[in-house]
Chain A
């Protein structure tokens, strides 16, 4: 069960003539077994915060503690491989790999036998509402919603204790949004995962256990 805590977290993007302070003095506590949503308008810094939590970027100031351990001192590759699964808004599926190959890729990184990984892939695909006929298809032949579900299935398959999702329902219809929200919620509640969802979809926020609001890079509110 993973707990994430940020302490005075800061991050800026430096362009040619200006510096954009994307995350400013963010202090938050993300607990296991809860589905936590970060909401905010575009440019509020929520996706940057997520990428910092995923160790895709390094904070300028402050620190991120994962189970009270400084994330920067941890092996980032091992962290992403074994502890944190990231679901991207743009799916980020490998276009030249089949659905099955996409799903089993993180499992193979973790040295799970291919046969076991394939069985696992079939199972998680079913969990996201897709049958085995999708396994051999390439992402380009899937709709946006289907691709997002495959991306979620890939995150589920690895059974990490942290799930970081960036606008996971941005391209889904209402029905699938509900299904995915339910799935993420169930991961938090049933598997004890620390689920962090960045979204501007209030229907997703409505199902969250805790909601953080961000504005101009700072944490502007927490509910409840």
Chain B
């Protein structure tokens, strides 16, 4: 008996059987592919969506450090003992100096210029000639001067022709020499570009792009006419502050300038520092009259202090804030998606654990310094403590401390390999939990142990189990903490939670149905197609065919169409799976189905990739073929062994 001949002599039956099994095979492949895709997507979504609870600064009293510490400890204790919490991460802060790296400045993006963001690269030193000086009520002096020599200035700043600075007697007395007009002074301090601040203010007032502000359009005559007109209308108060008028040429919008603002044109401010002379242990202010060329001045032994100040300032200009973390993706900005990894990778679990010398930089810092993934940078850690010690309410943009050799330990120097770049939606955003693009991320274990964990929103991440935020907040409330003690960031998880659950359930249901359909098809195939052979089996046996011969016949008779069906089903699934996925993805916005929502929300990126899906289909098909063969072997054995087969089928 030739099973192929038998099959070909009943083509309709055979074709129907093949089609039935092909459909079942394709359905099972597609549904299992979708099921596993959904499972994988759900798992990736669970991993991707980090539900974060961060301390709400509004709920704290930052003016009192003891209160803050108590509140912080209460928060930590509440978070650490809560079932809804997955993990608590306290990130560390430290400064690092990297001589080969040039930091970015907000001044380079004029519209975002904020002098407080450019610390400590804003230290500058000039040789100036005093043009005007006025004593302040406290006994200090406000000085206007012309810049004669730039001693130290970050190249990101624009050089102005005039400099304003104030200074006073650092020892507290009023007995200080007044600045002498026409004499030269060496001044050192924090640099502020007044001209740019003025243009920022004008652009905002007349509502135009910063580059369209033209300070040559400031008119003092216009201001006089305006003042006269306002007086005639009876507006008397505050008119003394109007020194000039600015008219935007394109739009015709105008604004007024105060006398102080008028002095900001082509001018910068410098804020001298009060330092301690280590030899005399006396404070001094960083303004000094020099009556000789600068080089000569600095070479003199009694001026070694100044030479040291300038050396340290150069190092400070290469100081970077460093955040040490045990899990970078739980940092506030990453969770809020104001920062994201644009290239490379985050740290691995092993790197976190061992404190591997690896780092993640901002993409912009890397571009400015010509760095690539895999390059190394040297970092000399220095300092420690709360970067916002002097600004208790500040919750974002930590900056590096000023560099002094005594703050650094040679043992804390190392080469760090760049493994990733992050990109920020707004590099100079001044809102809660943000950091500047100069910030370098490293594994916490790679930081020296003296690195601090400041009590700030940015430095604490309480990672909640997804979907458990309300339970967490309820528990916090029950523990007597303020209702708003924590702010929850779930990256939109709550919005998709139901869809996610429904999708997993839905895909599970489809998968179950497909298994039932496959089993039903197999049973139909066996009982309505293969078992029709029982009469032939009985005939074969009655004519002396051995059980082995009959089993072989039956097995091949059942297997050939099933094998063809698996091949066809696999082809259908390979074509159908892609179409199904494409449909689900593209229909995401139109279909109100849980499944499409899931794919839409994850932008199909979380789906297991095409090659894996194809392999999966081949695997499922292979399993089906294997299951078919096992079934057929069992079935044919049972049929051959049926004792009454002759009587039932031959009588």
Given A51-B646, A56-B646: A106 and B544 interface contact (C-beta under 8 Å): yes
B650 pairs with A90, CB closer than 8 A: yes
In the bound complex, what is the Cα–Cα distance between A105 and B1 (angstroms)? 8
CB distance from B183 to the nearest CB of A (A): 120
Residues of B within 8 A of A110 (CB): 544
Could you write out 14 A-B pairs with CB less than 8 Å apart? A56-B542, A57-B647, A80-B541, A82-B544, A86-B542, A90-B650, A92-B542, A93-B539, A94-B539, A96-B6, A96-B9, A96-B536, A105-B1, A109-B549
Contact B544 A57 (CB under 8 A): no
Q: Is B547 engaged at the interface, CB distance under 8 Å to the other chain?
A: yes
- Residue on A with the closest CB to B538? A92
Q: Which of B10, B646, B650, B651 contacts A96 (CB 8 A)?
A: B10
Residues from chain B with Cβ under 8 Å of A58 in the complex: 643
CA distance A97 to B536 in the complex (A): 10
Residue of B nearest to A155 (CB): B543
Closest CB of chain B to A177's CB: distance in Å?
21
User: How does the 8 Å CB contact mask read for B635-648 relative to A, with 1 for contact and 0 for none?
Assistant: 00000000100110
Per-position contact with A for B542-578: 1 when CB-CB < 8 Å, else 0? 1111110100000000000000000000000000000
Q: Are B544 and A88 in contact (CB under 8 A)?
A: no
Min Cβ gap B15→A in Å is 16
Q: Do A109 and B545 contact each other (CB < 8 Å), given the known contacts A94-B539, A96-B6, A96-B9?
A: yes
Interface residues of A (CB under 8 A from B): 47, 51, 54, 56-58, 77-82, 86, 88-90, 92-94, 96-97, 105-106, 109-110, 154
Q: How far is the CA of A82 from the CA of B542 in the complex (A)?
A: 12
- Considering only CB atoms, which chain B residue lies closest to A106 in the complex? B543
Name the residue among B9, B539, B546, B643 with the largest chain A CB count within 10 angstroms: B539
CB closest residue in chain B, given A82? B544
Residues 523-547 (chain B) with a chain A CB within 8 angstroms = 535-536, 538-547
In the bound complex, CA of A206 to CA of B538 (Å):
32
* Cα distance, A218 to B147, chains bound together (Å): 137
Q: Is the CB of A47 within 8 A of B651?
A: yes
**Separation of A51 and B535 alpha carbons in the complex (Å):** 16
Partner pick for B543 among A47, A90, A109, CB 8 A cutoff: A109
Nearest-Cβ distance from residue A87 to partner chain B, whole angstroms:
10
Contact of B544 among A51, A77, A93, A96 (CB under 8 A): A77
A82 to B643, CA, bound (A): 21
Instruction: Evaluate contact between B545 and A77: CB separation under 8 angstroms.
Output: yes
Q: Which residues of A contact B542 (CB under 8 A)?
A: 54, 56, 80, 86, 88, 92
A97 to B540 Cα, complex, angstroms: 12
Give CA–CA (A92, B541) in the complex, Å: 11
Chain A residues whose C-beta falls within 8 Å of the C-beta of B547 in the assembled complex: 77
Complex: A54 Cα to B646 Cα, angstroms: 11
Which residues of A are found within 8 Å of B643, using beta-carbon distances? 58
Q: Contact: B544 with A92, CB < 8 Å? A: no
Contacts of A78 in B (CB 8 A): 544
With both beta carbons as reference points, the residue of chain B lying nearest to A56 in the complex is identified as B646
12 further A-B contacts with Cβ under 8 Å, apart from A77-B541, A78-B544, A90-B650, are A57-B646, A77-B546, A79-B544, A80-B543, A81-B545, A90-B651, A92-B539, A92-B542, A92-B650, A105-B1, A105-B540, A110-B544
Report chain A residues within 8 Å CB of B544.
77-82, 106, 109-110
Collect the chain B residues with CB atoms within 8 Å of residue A93's CB: 539
Q: Which residue of A lies closest to B646 (CB)?
A: A56
Cα–Cα distance between A41 and B165 once the two chains are bound (Å): 134
Q: Which 6 A-B pairs have the closest CB atoms?
A: A81-B544, A80-B544, A56-B646, A96-B9, A77-B546, A106-B543
Q: How many Å lie between the Cα of A187 and that of B122 in the bound state? A: 122
Residue of A nearest to B546 (CB): A77
Nearest chain B CB to A100 CB, angstrom units: 13
Most chain B beta carbons < 10 A, residue from A51, A56, A86: A56
Contacting pair A51 B647 (CB below 8 A): yes
Given A78-B544, A82-B544: A56 in contact with B1 (beta carbons within 8 A): no
Residues of A within 8 A of B1 (CB): 94, 97, 105
Contact B650 A56 (CB under 8 A): yes
Over the window 1-37 of chain B, the binary record of Cβ atoms lying under 8 Å from chain A Cβ atoms (1 yes, 0 no) is 1000110011000000000000000000000000000
- Cα distance, A90 to B539, chains bound together (Å): 11
Determine the residue in chain A with the shortest Cβ distance to B645.
Answer: A56
Q: Which A residues are in CB contact (< 8 Å) with B646?
A: 51, 56-57
Q: Which residue of B lies closest to A47 (CB)?
A: B651
Distance, CA A88 to CA B1, complexed state (A): 20
Specify which chain A residues have a CB less than 8 angstroms from the CB of B6 in the assembled complex.
96
Residues of B within 8 A of A80 (CB): 541-544
Which of A82, A96, A106 has the most B CB atoms < 10 Å from its CB?
A96
**Which A residues touch B9, using CB under 8 A?**
96
Most buried by B among A58, A78, A109, A154: A109
Q: Smallest CB–CB gap between B262 and chain A, Å?
A: 109
Say yes or no: A56-B647 contact (C-beta < 8 A), given A77-B546, A77-B547.
Answer: yes
Rounded to whole angstroms, the CA-CA distance of A41 and B521 in the bound complex is: 45
Q: How far is the CA of A47 from the CA of B541 in the complex (A)?
A: 18
Whole-angstrom distance between the alpha carbons of A163 and B119 in the complex?
112
- Cα–Cα distance between A93 and B10 once the two chains are bound (Å): 16
